[in-house]
Copies of this chain bind each other. A is one copy, B any other.
């Protein structure tokens, strides 16, 4: 069976010399000839002799010995193999810069695609890009330098900040607010109705959902996430928080700043998370639960009660992480334990 290996060359092949890279990254050269050419930037496992790779941790340094990379980028103070090395103070900015240099992405055309449908009352900032078949509602505001991908829709009176990147097929409902420098991936839906129905006369009555969603600055929302608008107030995602794919945020939830919510996480209505929380994949937080600052929630957990600042919890229901490790380990001993207790009872009967 034939497979399809990628075969798309970047617009122009890039090659640099080590000395030139050192200058651009404000890096120090070690064991290196500044004239050594560098043909690419790659992971330790993929890099060949003409490539530069990077080492970010002691574990990476161990793996680096097996790498075929011709040179390394590394932070100061980390022992690395005896090969040409670019030393930097902070490695991740340098990694991003090298990616920019070696792997330029296809450019986005500035301007408004002729097929975009923009309401007359909408306000558009300078230098933005509206892709094909975009729809912008009445009185919506889109900030300068923002990119709205093909087929995305912005509802009436929504406000999108500056320098945001909305990939194709993002749907922002009316009156939603999105800050500056946010990234929304395809299929993300922001502002759908909260899930609230009351039984009236034996039938479910929909309670109108007219609150808003506020996405603060520097938030990233993964593909096919769904974030509900509040009932009357607001659903809020704090600045710098990142959501992976297929995350569900219910109405009136408040997520603090700098949180990371991994794939398929769900946060139920009116729950709150403090700043700097990490929620691992497929976990859920019950409605009206308060999760403190800096909390770590393990994968596939169900948080059913409040969690204090700085705690690490896991499990269904979620408990202290260390305790869970013991419980999970004990669990496999349970079938044998039942037999042991039966034996004890038998022996006691004999006495």
Q: 15 additional contacts, CB 8 Å, given A96-B207, A99-B210?
A: A2-B180, A3-B239, A132-B133, A133-B135, A151-B153, A171-B187, A185-B193, A206-B220, A226-B246, A228-B245, A264-B264, A268-B281, A317-B328, A327-B335, A340-B345
Closest B residue to A118 by beta carbon equals B132
**Do residues B214 and A4 form an inter-chain contact, with CB atoms below 8 A?**
yes
1/0 contact string of A170-197 vs chain B (CB within 8 Å): 0101110111100101110100110101
Provide the bound-state CA to CA distance between A340 and B92, in Å.
Answer: 51
**Residues of chain B contacted by A61 (CB below 8 angstroms):** none
Number of interface residues of A (CB under 8 A): 137
A250 interface residue per 8 A CB criterion = yes
9-residue interface stretch from A20-28, A30-38, A39-47, A62-70? A39-47
**Do residues B223 and A192 form an inter-chain contact, with CB atoms below 8 A?**
yes
**Do residues A6 and B234 form an inter-chain contact, with CB atoms below 8 A?**
yes
**Do residues A186 and B171 form an inter-chain contact, with CB atoms below 8 A?**
yes
A260 interface residue per 8 A CB criterion = yes
Closest B residue to A340 by beta carbon equals B341
Could you list some 30 contacts between A and B, CB below 8 A? A1-B217, A4-B180, A4-B214, A7-B177, A43-B232, A45-B233, A92-B205, A93-B200, A96-B208, A115-B115, A117-B150, A132-B133, A132-B135, A132-B153, A133-B151, A151-B153, A151-B169, A153-B169, A169-B189, A171-B187, A189-B224, A192-B245, A203-B240, A248-B281, A264-B266, A264-B284, A282-B282, A299-B302, A331-B334, A344-B344
**Residues of chain B contacted by A331 (CB below 8 angstroms):** 327, 331, 334
A138 interface residue per 8 A CB criterion = yes
**Do residues B217 and A226 form an inter-chain contact, with CB atoms below 8 A?**
no
10 interchain residue pairs of minimum CB distance: A106-B156, A117-B132, A223-B226, A226-B245, A135-B150, A171-B186, A189-B223, A192-B223, A153-B168, A132-B135
**Do residues B330 and A2 form an inter-chain contact, with CB atoms below 8 A?**
no
**Residues of chain B contacted by A351 (CB below 8 angstroms):** 351
**Residues of chain B contacted by A250 (CB below 8 angstroms):** 244-245, 263
**Do residues A299 and B284 form an inter-chain contact, with CB atoms below 8 A?**
yes
**Residues of chain B contacted by A189 (CB below 8 angstroms):** 169, 185-187, 223-224, 245
1/0 contact string of A225-238 vs chain B (CB within 8 Å): 11010011110000
Provide the bound-state CA to CA distance between A93 and B234, in Å.
Answer: 22
**Do residues A192 and B203 form an inter-chain contact, with CB atoms below 8 A?**
no
The residues in A between 294 and 329 inclusive whose CB is less than 8 angstroms from any CB of B are 299-300, 302, 304, 316-317, 319, 323, 326-329
**Do residues A169 and B169 form an inter-chain contact, with CB atoms below 8 A?**
yes
**Do residues A171 and B168 form an inter-chain contact, with CB atoms below 8 A?**
yes
Residues on A lying within 8 angstroms of B by beta carbon are: 1-8, 41-43, 45-46, 90, 92-93, 95-96, 99-100, 103, 105-106, 113, 115, 117, 131-133, 135, 137-139, 149-151, 153, 155-157, 159, 161, 167-169, 171, 173-175, 177-180, 183, 185-187, 189, 192-193, 195, 197-198, 200-208, 210, 212, 214-218, 220, 222-226, 228, 231-234, 239-240, 242, 244-246, 248, 250, 257-258, 260, 262-264, 266, 268, 281-282, 284, 286, 299-300, 302, 304, 316-317, 319, 323, 326-335, 337-338, 340-341, 344-345, 347-348, 351
Q: How far is the CB of A337 from chain B (nearest CB, A)?
A: 6
**Do residues B340 and A330 form an inter-chain contact, with CB atoms below 8 A?**
no
